Amino acid sequence: MAGYVRRMSEQPTPPAPLEPLPEDWERALAVVAHPDDLEFGAAAAIARWTRQGKQVVYCMVTSGEAGIDGIEPARARELREAEQIESARIVGVDAVDFLGLPDGILEYGVALRRAIAEVVRRHRPQIVITNNFRDTWGGQALNQADHIAVGKATLDAARDAGNRWVFPEQVEAGLEPWDDVAAVWASGSPQGTHGVDVTDTFAAGVASLAAHKAYIDGLGWADFDPEEFLEGWARQAGTRLGVPLATTFEVFPFGWGN
């Protein structure tokens, strides 16, 4: 018991160093539940990659229409789709797919996997990006049900896409199976082990979040400052990667033994 007590009173160990993510790829697909999900961390990394000439496509599973308490869903959908398209443009992304599934009540399962596998087969990415789908953001900050459903379904769908006998109606309709996804990367996971240096593209990431103006106003967080908010996280991650500013990802590699 004495040893246990002594260990508990020692300084907490500093967070583990982050490994840089590979950048030897050309096409990524980012699949998230809501407009704004990519802008709380991943967008600055996406800006870096598009500046390197990589192609990144966004897919929003919902249009975030249930996300603004004071605005009814039909109007919120229009506002949020427009804000997401602008937000994507700021970080060099010209293509944003909206699947139109219902915001707030997504269910993990075959239907969601089917919808996402179809998008993977259409865009044929080497890397698939999604949001944290662990139960929390770290500590006690609970994750949201749509994020968890979409992250899990995206991980499955990235593999489903390669099997012609899974969702074969898509193959019959002319989409080829796609089995070249090397990994799924989940942004903002509390179990993130990898990082991206966003020192040069941090400002684009901030502008990309600020583009969600109706949403941010609707949150009712007095004086929410996108730059201040993102900078706190980016500095912490930067320390772990050995650069001024970074963002984190949890990596789910496909294939065997890597």
Q: Total residues contacting Zn ion (rule CB under 5 A)? A: 2
Q: How far is the CB of 172 from Zn ion (least distance, A)?
A: 34
Interface stretch with Zn ion, choices 32-40, 116-124, 210-218, 236-244 (CB under 5 A): 32-40
DSSP string, the chain: -HHHHHHHHSPPPPPPPPEEPP---SEEEEEESSTTGGGTTHHHHHHHHHHTT-EEEEEESS--TTS-TTS-HHHHHHHHHHHHHHHHHHTT---EEE--PPTT----SHHHHHHHHHHHHHH--SEEEEE--SSBSSTT-B--HHHHHHHHHHHHHHHHTT-TTSSHHHHHTTPPP-----EEEEET-TT--EEEE-TTTHHHHHHHHHT-HHHHHHHT-TT--HHHHHHHHHHHHHHHHTSSSEEEEEEEE-SS--
In the bound state with Zn ion, the residue whose beta carbon lies nearer, of 29 and 175, is 29
Interface stretch with Zn ion, choices 29-37, 213-221, 223-231, 232-240 (CB under 5 A): 29-37
Specify the length of the chain in residues.
258
Q: How far is the CB of 66 from Zn ion (least distance, A)?
A: 11
Q: How far is the CB of 186 from Zn ion (least distance, A)?
A: 13
Interface stretch with Zn ion, choices 36-44, 98-106, 185-193, 237-245 (CB under 5 A): 36-44
Is position 37 an interface residue for Zn ion (rule: CB under 5 A)?
Answer: yes
In the bound state with Zn ion, the residue whose beta carbon lies nearer, of 37 and 250, is 37
Q: How far is the CB of 33 from Zn ion (least distance, A)?
A: 5
Across-strand partners of 183?
127, 253
Q: How far is the CB of 34 from Zn ion (least distance, A)?
A: 4
Is position 103 an interface residue for Zn ion (rule: CB under 5 A)?
Answer: no
Interface stretch with Zn ion, choices 37-45, 117-125, 148-156, 169-177 (CB under 5 A): 37-45
Q: How far is the CB of 10 from Zn ion (least distance, A)?
A: 37
In the bound state with Zn ion, the residue whose beta carbon lies nearer, of 48 and 80, is 80
- Determine how many CB atoms are found less than 10 A away from the CB of residue 24: 6
Q: Name the residue with the smallest CB distance to Zn ion.
A: 34
Is position 34 an interface residue for Zn ion (rule: CB under 5 A)?
Answer: yes
Residues of this chain that interact with Zn ion (CB under 5 A) are 34, 37
